[in-house]
């Protein structure tokens, strides 16, 4: 994560502790999407001239707290000079065997497409921080989640054990990330936008922006929820596995079909909708 590219420190955008948390969360989220168990993390910290030592230590404390929560060991790293704050976590995950791990490429026609948790927290935060909407009590929960996203490690392992065919974490937004699964598997994912589970605050903010709630939810990067493809016969098992693993549920949002590899997003009428040009980064 590079200052000015992946985060801003100025004017309340992110505290150093949040930057540390988010950098580690983003790396762990990739392990979650494979169904791997988190192992060791290594931190490369690039500090610009004049960056306060106290802030650097706060950043590391933010990462340490998430490491403790997730059973990750921060086992090493390095600190160098850099023109802007640069925070790179390398994480190593483990499984008993390669067969336990899930890739992006196994989706099959007939599979159901599911997402964990609720979507749109990062999109709400971006709109608030850019001053496009008002910060209210209704956006607090989304802001808190966006500042410290939770990698879905337990849910990822549960889904892998429940027979998931393909999985990806939502770091760029469902519209982009689901397309990766479609292309990797040579299949067409059909996602019903009205079925997307919405983070609290998404309806409020999208109303103020004058856009449909699903637009925010489908294009919200760095939510770090999981998108998974599961055979119809394993669907109930997968849903129970996620419920048993933690605090979020699995929602079915679409289906895998034969067709042009990628994703098609459909509205309530079943018409394909384009999200092109909608900004997802915060």
Q: How many angstroms separate the CA atoms of 32 and 50, rounded? A: 36
Nearer to a copy of itself, 84 or 268 (CB): 84
282 neighbors 122 (Cβ within 8 angstroms): yes
Span from 70-78, 218-226, 235-243, 260-268 in contact with a copy of itself (CB under 8 A): 70-78
Nearer to a copy of itself, 5 or 268 (CB): 5
> b/e map of 66-103 (b: 16 or more CB within 10 Å)?
bbeebebebeeeeeeebeebbbebebebebeeeeebbb
Q: Is 84 in the site for a copy of itself (CB under 8 A)?
A: yes
Q: Is 1 in the site for a copy of itself (CB under 8 A)?
A: yes
In this structure, how many other beta carbons lie within 10 angstroms of the beta carbon of residue 137?
8
Report the nearest approach of a copy of itself to the CB of residue 166 (Å).
19
Binders of a copy of itself: how many residues, by CB under 8 A?
A: 21
Report the nearest approach of a copy of itself to the CB of residue 88 (Å).
4
178 neighbors 256 (Cβ within 8 angstroms): no
Q: Is the dihedral of CA 198, 200, 203, 207 positive or negative?
A: negative
Report the nearest approach of a copy of itself to the CB of residue 245 (Å).
25
Q: Is 79 in the site for a copy of itself (CB under 8 A)?
A: no
254 neighbors 273 (Cβ within 8 angstroms): no
Structure-token match 């540390």, residue found: 20
Report the nearest approach of a copy of itself to the CB of residue 123 (Å).
20
Binding mask 2-41 for a copy of itself (x = CB under 8 A): x-xxx---------------------------------x-
Q: How many angstroms separate the CA atoms of 226 and 89, rounded? A: 20
Report the nearest approach of a copy of itself to the CB of residue 253 (Å).
27
107 neighbors 165 (Cβ within 8 angstroms): yes
Tokens describing residue 72: 């990750």
Nearer to a copy of itself, 16 or 26 (CB): 26
In this structure, how many other beta carbons lie within 10 angstroms of the beta carbon of residue 54?
9
Q: Is 44 in the site for a copy of itself (CB under 8 A)?
A: yes
Report the nearest approach of a copy of itself to the CB of residue 90 (Å).
4
Q: Is 273 in the site for a copy of itself (CB under 8 A)?
A: no
The binding site for a copy of itself (CB under 8 A) comprises 1-2, 4-6, 40, 42, 44, 46, 76-78, 80-84, 86, 88, 90, 92
């Amino acid at each position: 994560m590079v200052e000015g590219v992946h985060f801003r420190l100025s004017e309340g955008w992110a505290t150093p502790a949040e930057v540390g948390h988010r950098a580690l969360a983003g790396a762990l989220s990739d392990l979650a999407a494979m169904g791997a168990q988190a192992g060791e993390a290594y931190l490369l910290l690039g500090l610009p001239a004049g960056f306060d030592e106290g802030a650097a230590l706060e950043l590391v404390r933010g990462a340490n707290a998430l490491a403790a929560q997730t059973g990750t060991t921060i086992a090493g790293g390095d600190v160098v000079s850099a023109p802007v704050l640069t925070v790179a976590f390398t994480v190593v995950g483990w499984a008993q065997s390669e067969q336990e791990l899930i890739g992006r490429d196994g989706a099959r026609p007939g599979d159901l497409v599911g997402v964990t948790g609720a979507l749109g927290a990062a999109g709400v935060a971006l709109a608030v921080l850019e001053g496009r909407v008002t910060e209210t009590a209704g956006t607090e929960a989304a802001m808190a989640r966006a500042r410290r996203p939770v990698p879905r490690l337990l849910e990822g392992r549960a889904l892998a054990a429940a027979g998931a065919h393909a999985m990806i974490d939502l770091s760029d937004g469902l519209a982009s990330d689901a397309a990766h699964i479609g292309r990797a598997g040579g299949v067409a994912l059909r996602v019903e936008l009205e079925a997307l589970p919405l983070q609290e605050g998404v309806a409020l903010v999208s109303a103020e922006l004058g856009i449909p709630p699903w637009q925010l939810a489908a294009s919200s990067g760095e939510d770090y929820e999981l998108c998974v493809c599961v055979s119809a016969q394993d669907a109930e098992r997968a849903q129970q596995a996620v419920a048993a693993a933690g605090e979020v549920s699995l929602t079915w949002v679409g289906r895998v079909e034969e067709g042009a590899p990628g994703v098609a997003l459909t509205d309530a009428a079943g018409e394909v909708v384009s999200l092109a040009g909608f900004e997802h980064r915060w």
